[in-house]
Amino acid sequence: MLIVFIGPPGAGKGTQAQRLASHLNVPHLSTGEMLRDAEESGTELGRKAAAFMKNGQLAPDELVVKIIGQRIEQPDCARGCLFDGFPRTINQAEELDRQLSLDQRALDLVLELHVEEDELVRRLLRRAKHADKPRADDTPEAIPKRLEVYRSLTQPVLEYYRARGLLREINGQGTPEQVFARIRDAVETRQSS
Ligand code: AP5
Ligand code: MG
């Protein structure tokens, strides 16, 4: 299956995509992780992306479309994969559809993780305080910017998928186990339809 996880920063996309990836035995593709890895390796791409990430802004579409495009061509994605944090703009969503259609493929499901804003901020600040490896964008300055970018650039992507009948809203509050049970139900419903 080809499944997209969409949700604001701190909604639990990474946490849940990782669980679903091992449940379905397909790769978990996080553009945020890919960009942070590129930054750590000191590549040109990583340096370019780091400046945007630190300020809570999106990296340029062409840059993320390129890394995802190369990744989905890898043999381990032949049975499907989970997209976490991609697409984040309408342009990225259109590009993904275009690239998949070249291989006669299409998305099966889009899961929107819904979490109240005060809970999102609590989660991100908690991670900033307790993580072994703190993230440069979990700061009181960058968090509101990330939320604003989500509202203005990524929320329209929800409508794009709703219009195509792919969107399922998932309550992302509660324990990670409770959220995962809701996701598993949505995936099983889609598999049996
Ligand atoms: P990205 O890495 O995707 O970050 P994000 O979406 O802003 O936020 P997170 O990854 O922190 O949230 P998440 O929803 O994955 O939640 P998580 O499971 O980690 O992107 C970072 C940056 O990279 C972007 O700002 C942009 O600059 C760039 N970028 C990435 N993709 C891009 C794209 N497509 N285009 C352009 N630029 C792009 O959980 C968060 C915390 O909450 C964790 O500590 C977790 O343990 C905890 N938690 C999880 N679930 C629960 C729960 N149920 N209850 C309590 N705590 C929980
Ligand atoms: Mg994440």
Ligand 1 contact via 8 beta carbon (within 6 Å)? no
Catalytic residue set: 13, 88, 127, 135, 146
Residue 44: per-residue pLDDT:
92
How far is the CA of 156 from the CAs of 14, 99, 120, 161, 169, in angstroms?
Answer: 21, 20, 20, 9, 14
pLDDT band at 77 (very low <50, low <70, confident <90, very high): very high
What's the gap in Å between 104 CA and the centre of ligand 1? 30
Ligand 1 contact via 110 beta carbon (within 6 Å)? no
pLDDT tens track for 86-124? 999 999 999 999 999 999 999 999 999 999 999 999 999
| Residue type at 106 in one-letter notation | A
Domain boundaries, the chain: 2-192
Ligand 1 contact via 114 beta carbon (within 6 Å)? no
What's the gap in Å between 90 CA and the centre of ligand 2? 19
The CATH number that domain 2-192 falls under is 3.40.50.300
Give the list of residues 6+ apart from residue 112 with CB closer than 8 angstroms, or none: 6, 7, 158, 167, 168, 169, 170
Mean pLDDT to the nearest integer, 5-14: 98
Residue 134: per-residue pLDDT:
79
Strands, DSSP E only, in 26-166? Answer: 28-30, 81-84, 109-114
Ligand 1 contact via 127 beta carbon (within 6 Å)? yes
| Residue type at 180 in one-letter notation | F
- Give me 137's structure tokens: 């964008």
- Ligand 1 pocket: which of 137, 149, 155, 179 to mutate (most atoms <8 Å of CB)? 137
pLDDT tens track for 25-76? 999 999 999 999 999 999 999 999 999 999 999 999 999 999 999 999 999 9
Give the list of residues 6+ apart from residue 159 with CB closer than 8 angstroms, or none: none
Residue 131: per-residue pLDDT:
84
Give the list of residues 6+ apart from residue 46 with CB closer than 8 angstroms, or none: 35, 37, 38, 39, 40
What's the gap in Å between 53 CA and the centre of ligand 2? 12
What's the gap in Å between 154 CA and the centre of ligand 2? 14
Asked if the model's pLDDT at residue 133 lies above 90, the reply is: no
